[in-house]
Structure 1
Amino acid sequence: MPSPHPSTPNLLRRLMPGAAALLAYRRADLAADVRAGSAVAAVAIPVGVAYAQLAGFSPALGLYASLLPLIAYALFGTSRQLVVGPDAATCAMVAGTLATLGAVDADTRLALSALLSLFAGLLLIGASRLHLGALADFLSRPILLGFLNGVALNILLGQGGCLIGIELSAHDALHRVSELTRGLGHANLPTLLLALATFALLRLTARHAPRLPAALLALIGATLATRFAGLEALGVKTLGEVAAGLPTLRLDLAVVPGLELGKLASAAGGVALISYCNAIVIARSFAARGGYEVDADLELRALGAANIASALSGSFAVSAADSRTAVAEHAGARTQMTSIVAALWVALCLISLTPLLALVPTVALAVILVDAALSLLDTRGVRELGRLSRHEMWLSLATTAGVLGTGVLEGIAVALALSLLRFIHAMARPEDEVLGQIDGVPGFHDTGRHPDARQTPGVLIYRFNAPLVFFNAPTFSHRLLAACHSRPGLSTVILDMMPVSRLDATGRYTLDEVAQRLDAQGIRLVIAGRRTELLQWQAAHLSQFWAQEDRLFPTVKQALKACTGQDKTAMTLSDS
């Protein structure tokens, strides 16, 4: 894709990078983008309708969320392939928020969902202004994996009733399982058989004809079967009337109480965070495959613009759509024009094809949601985590349990709390090492991992692999003194300070105290690395303990030579 034309105003390139790129559009890319956009629309239309059902809205709202947001992202985004729209996690969060707020009547639900999308969009744009694109790194992969697994299981349980033709009233996972178990005896057989046939068609098409729009074909097949086999008379439900026409730009605040606005604003933070984390991971993945980069801060703004566009359409929050993005790439999408073409197809559907949507059986939409949830469910990732780190695997499973036990919205708080606890634990209890030398291998090595590493008699070389700050200083002191007590006959401790990237006041006082305690036992503590910082500390009269420069060395190697009498000019920097 070419760079924007030099005459394009710099302000436009900064504010609307997608629009700037479209101004330099090459006609040679049009055929590929039209094909890709048509393929995206073939998936986006049935999926948008299905996700509207998941969030508890009319089918038209799913199409609204697949129209203006696509155009907004195409103008503001930096990814060439990313497609935005309704997605499983965001829709489940919207449904969970509305359930928490107790919204019952349709007008209130519509107003609340639009405002939730608006607040999420404004938060995303505000985060972009503050250059908070790094927020995507806050949720660790294991915790994000656990959260999405919880969302997937929630969707599977929520659609279970529709698959067998019964109504579910429970909102939490445990009661849904109980209700499904009791309702099996009242299942509608034609509905269940249609669900199985639709799922089989969906999977077979995806496996054997991946270029075809599997979701659209499955929807058409289920609709034809319902129409010509007279399944409606046997209890198979259809969508019924679908509102025709393009969305009207509006924002209704009158039906929303002030108290609910505050709750919505709070919930919007979680929606914005998860929506952005999902989008930036997908955008970066496809950009890496395409050989270009995306701007994390500009992606915040683009996703915010897409959510505001959805709010003004009277619809619900959106995020990146991984399946539709994969379809776009597979179909040969070259530029953001793909999203424009897909949006035009959605608009055409709203204008002239809604009578056909009215015939669609609701169980077919449930099958599409179940298929999406199964693709979201990553049990292999959990098993891989178990092989890499059982601790992180349990964190992931705890996040999943939190989502299932408390709901999707509260599950965000669980995920954030676990992320914070994981960070604190990693910093407060970091790894440490007692170092030794291996014959024929340069450098110093952890004796725990290398039992053949040789330690110098009378000398302990210790490494603390974290910043030395207030919340881990007691751990540092305890571990270093314990390591010294395990080595009788010590005369010197060499502390490798290179991994200690930060030393706050508590850490410095702790370092002083440890050195004084060791001195009282006849053991001299010397420092290897960070020599300049410690000299500046001493020069500022914050500590006189390190005034003796023979305690400070540039490297462990030089400190060891000086302590063993191998180097009489240890304080020169030539051996660093």
Structure 2
Amino acid sequence: MSSRIYHFMPGLQTLFNYRQRWLAADVKAALSVAAVALPVAIAYAQLTGVNAAVGLYSCVLPMLVYALFGSSKQLIVGPDAATCAVIAAVVTPLAAGDTIKHWQLVITMTAMTGFWCLIASKFKLGVLADFLSKPILMGLLNGVAITIIVGQISKVLGVTFDERYLLERLADAPSYITQSHLPTLFMAIFTAFSYLLIKRIKPSWPSAMFAITFAALLVWGFNLNQYQVTTIGVVTGGLPLFQTPEFNIGIVRELVVPALNLAIVSFVSMMLTARSFAAKNSYEIDADKEFRALGMANIASAISQGFAVSGADSRTAVNDANGGKTQLVSIIAAAIIAIIAIFFTAPLEYIPSAALGVVLIIASISLIDLKTLWQLKYKDKQAFYLALTTLLAVLFVGVIPGITMAVLLGLFQFIRTVMRPTDQILGVDINGVVRTLDTSDKSKAVQGLFIYRFNSPLTYFNASYFKRRLLTEYARQDDDIKCVIIDAVPCFTHLDLSVMAMLADLELIFRKRNVRLELAGRKRQLLAWFKVVGIKSGKEGIYIHSDLYVALNKNSHNQGLNIGLATSTAPQSTQV
């Protein structure tokens, strides 16, 4: 019974087997994580367009839930720049300036994101962690980071953007600079200076927390409100009160696809962070469990009136750097943030919006990595163009269309790989090992045989391409080909009627040319499929062998060839 519980709640097993020697490191890491998470949560609440307390609520319950259901010992979940930017881009036009409606739409989209994650976990879609390739995610994060930076400049300058899209805002940048509110600009410069100074003097200290604290003290001590320095205003503390949404249910339809996109992007981003720290600390994580944990964390956030969360790479790095050993770090940090959210929110009203804008800009700058993106041009041009296309899509058409394009690009990249895979003509070397025929002359073609390998599972949408490639390569061979052997292991992975029909057509084409068609590998499986669809095997149809070596040996003996082939007991893996 306990094993089933531990399987469902991996964090519980760690906590029940907790060792006292871990406690000091976990407490130290938790204090550091809380110190970093507090200002970031408040800043991301502003980015999302909700009250500062909502940012704090988004940390507490999700962190507790992930500590129990997540399989990563170091990962910290919480508000994330890209996640908040996506939510704001979706919800803001739907809310049309209604703050209550805006907040409720945020909660609704958060819950929907969580449910999408749970559905994905139920169907074991953790493989989606590999769905968005690193180049696509790189372009997406760079684009989102630049979008956030431009958006927060209005807070730094003390102006309000009239334009919704990035290009229009950049076009009108000179006029906005001339309209800058000098006290607000001074506050932004002071915050940035404080942050950089602390970062230089004490790199291990939570610079963002100290910078925001100094800015708030400056507002409070000198009553800078009289100079129209905007602050986040009164923050209502206490326990979150659950409210049912009060808007037209039809609006929910507008959130379905964006919530799905957000679930995929959040999960992929989280898995990159979780896997990197798991590898560093020598343990494995379960992608399907992580999907479920992310879903439950988002639903927990929605229940506690918070917004969507994801894996927070900066806070995870702080946790690891301070020696955090277990999920207890999340529990202690959540408790600290909860105490502040319930009892000590009064001082938060003095935090200037410009200071939060600076913190968001600094956090977003850390996401920008244009140098690595540009280096892709010399390492992998296809990856470079994918990353660049995603980046430009986010910048030119917006965050949501950009994310949708990123998801579609990932899908198209996969389909293209499956539909148009590489293929090889095989031969044997002097030791009888099957190798690819290439310019190295390490292997030679077997007289009278044409051996073909297709490096992708065969299905209805690439069967025609397979047929064309096989016939094209066959036509380039000498006229004395007596037998065509297809390596069945990589391509015949599942029963597909279209593939079976194509195979029957190939057998007829080769039979008319007095050429035998043979398959090597997956013998039992193929014989069962042939029986189902009515394709004949053996002398009256297609020969099937247990592996390539058996097929080659049989044909070499039949034709009186002496090519020194390895026996059928040779290793099944062939060299390519």
Which TM-score bucket, shorter chain as reference?
0.7 to 0.9
- Structure 1 pair 510–131 and aligned structure 2 pair: CA distance change class (3 A): closer
Aligned position for 2:60? 67
Q: Following the alignment from structure 1 to structure 2, what is the Cα–Cα distance between the partners of residues 274 and 549?
A: 49
How many angstroms apart in 2 are the aligned matches of 1:239 and 1:569?
Answer: 81
Q: Distance in 2 between matches of 1:546 and 1:127?
A: 44
Partner of 1:498: 489
| Residues 79 and 569 of structure 1, relative CA distance in 2, 3 Å threshold | closer
Picking from 306, 309, 320, the partner of 1:315 is 306
User: What secondary structure, in the 3-state scheme, does the structure 2 residue paired with 1:358 have?
Assistant: helix
**Is the Cα–Cα contact under 8 Å of residues 39 and 208 in structure 2 kept in the other structure?**
yes
The equivalent of 2:402 in structure 1 is: 411
- Paired position in structure 1 for 2:251: 260
- Is the aligned partner of 1:474 residue 2:464? yes
Change (3 A) 1:508 1:347: closer
Pairing partner for 2:104 from 108, 111, 122: 111
Out of 293, 304, 309, the residue aligned to residue 302 of structure 1 is 293
1:122 Cα offset (Å): 3.1
Q: 1:23-42, aligned counterparts within 5 Å?
A: 23-42=16-35
The residue aligned with 2:369 is 378
Are the structure 2 counterparts of residues 548 and 519 from structure 1 closer, same or farther at C-alpha, using a change threshold of 3 Å?
A: closer
Instruction: Choose from 560, 566, 569 the match for 1:565.
Output: 560
Q: 1:464 to 1:363 in 2, by over 3 A?
A: same
Secondary structure (helix, strand or coil) at the match of 1:48 reads: helix
What is the CA–CA distance in structure 1 between the aligned matches of 2:95 and 2:343, rounded to whole Å?
Answer: 35
144, 154, 178: which one aligns with 1:151: 144
3-state SS in 1 of match to 2:277: helix
Equivalent pair of 1:120/1:307 in contact (CA under 8 Å): yes
User: 39, 43, 46: which one pairs with 1:50?
Assistant: 43
Q: In the alignment, residue 134 of structure 2 is paired with which amino acid? A: R
Report the CA distance between 1:92 and its aligned residue.
Answer: 1.0
Listed as ranges, the gaps of 5+ residues in structure 2 are: none
Aligned residue identity for 2:485: I
Q: 1:258 to 1:352 in 2, by over 3 A?
A: closer
> SS in structure 1 opposite 2:295?
helix
CA 336–516 in structure 1, closer or farther in 2 if over 3 Å, else same: same
Matched residue type, 1:414: M
Specify the alignment match of 2:135 in structure 1: 142
* Alpha-carbon distance in 1 for matches of 2:291, 2:502: 42
Which of 73, 85, 93 aligns to 1:92? It is: 85
SS at match of 1:57: coil
Q: Which of 238, 246, 255 is matched with 2:238 structurally? A: 246
Counterparts of 2:72 and 2:511 in 1: how far apart (Å)?
60
Who is 1:398 aligned against?
389
Does the alignment pair 1:512 with 2:507?
no
What fraction of aligned residue pairs are identical, expressed as a percent?
A: 37
- Deviation of 1:265 (Å): 4.0
Q: Is the 8 A contact 2:437 2:445 kept in 1?
A: no
Quick one: which of 437, 441, 454 aligns to 1:464?
454
For 1:350, give the aligned amino acid.
A
Cα distance in 2 between the residues matched to 1:176 and 1:28 = 54
Cα RMSD, aligned residues only: 3.2
Please tell me the residue identity of whatever aligns with 2:496.
D
State the shift of 1:213 in Å. 0.8
The offset of 1:88, in angstroms, is 0.8
Change (3 A) 1:131 1:538: closer
> How much does 1:234 deviate?
5.8
1:544 is the counterpart of 2:536: yes
Distance verdict in 2 for CA 1:10–1:471, change over 3 Å? closer
- Equivalent-residue separation in structure 2 for 1:65 and 1:342 (angstroms): 13
The amino acid that maps onto 2:46 is Q
Report the equivalent of 1:489: 479
Equivalent of 2:76 in 71, 79, 83:
83
CA contact (8 A) 2:432 2:565 kept: no
- 3-state SS in 2 of match to 1:283: helix
Per-residue displacement from partner, 1:521-576 (whole Å, max 9, x unpaired)? Answer: 45444333334444444555722264458944444445445255226999995677
Stretch moving more, 172-181 or 42-51: 172-181
Shift of the alpha carbon at 1:225?
Answer: 5.3
Between the aligned partners of 1:567 and 1:526, the Cα distance in structure 2 is 20
**Structure 1 stretch displaced more, 229-238 or 179-188:** 229-238
Deviation at 1:47, TM superposition (A): 0.3
Kindly indicate whether residue 153 of structure 2 is the aligned counterpart of residue 160 of structure 1.
yes
Aligned pairs for 1:144-223 (under 5 A) are 144-189=137-182, 191-192=184-185, 194-196=187-189, 198-203=191-196, 205-206=198-199, 209-223=202-216
**Partner of residue 5, structure 1:** none
CA distance in 1, matches of 2:193, 2:437: 55
Which letter does structure 1 place at the counterpart of 2:294?
L
Matched residues in 2 for 1:491 and 1:52: separation?
70
Take 2:541 and 2:512, find their aligned partners in 1: how far apart are those partners? 19
Mean Cα deviation higher: 554-563 or 272-281: 554-563
CA deviation string 1:134-191 (max 9, x = no partner): 3333333332333222222221221122233321132222222223244233234554
Q: TM-score, normalised by structure 2?
A: 0.88
Report how far residue 91 of structure 1 moved.
Answer: 0.7
Q: Residues 489 and 80 (structure 1 numbering): CA distance in 2 closer, same or farther, change over 3 Å?
A: same
Task: Measure the CA separation in 2 of the matches of 1:246 and 1:130.
Answer: 38
Count of aligned positions = 566
Deviation at 1:49, TM superposition (A): 0.7
Separation (CA, whole Å) in 1 of partners of 2:97 and 2:361: 25
Distance apart, 1:87 and its partner CA: 0.7
Cα gap change, 1:534 to 1:547, in 2 (>3 Å): farther
User: Greater CA deviation, 153-162 or 224-233?
Assistant: 224-233
> CA distance change for structure 1 residues 567 and 396 in 2, over 3 Å: closer, same or farther?
same
**1:403·1:412 contact (CA, 8 Å) conserved in 2?**
yes
Give the superposition deviation at 1:390: 1.8
Call closer, same or farther: CA 1:205–1:454 in 2, change over 3 Å: farther
Higher mean C-alpha deviation, range 432-441 or range 167-176: 432-441
Structure 2 CA distance, aligned partners of 1:478 and 1:145? Answer: 36
Contact 1:160/1:180 (<8 A) preserved: no
Q: For structure 1, which segment, 19-28 or 494-503, has the greater mean C-alpha deviation from structure 2 after superposition? A: 19-28
Q: Measure, in 2, the Cα distance between the counterparts of 1:333 and 1:572.
A: 54
Say whether residues 1:528 and 2:520 are aligned partners: yes
Which range moves more in the overlay, 470-479 or 430-439? 430-439
Does structure 2 retain, via aligned residues, the 8 Å contact 1:42–1:216?
yes
Q: Distance in 2 between matches of 1:278 and 1:556?
A: 42
Could you tell me how far 1:26 is from its partner in structure 2? 3.9
8 Å contact 1:240–1:358 — kept in the other structure? Answer: yes
Q: Secondary structure at the match of 2:456?
A: coil
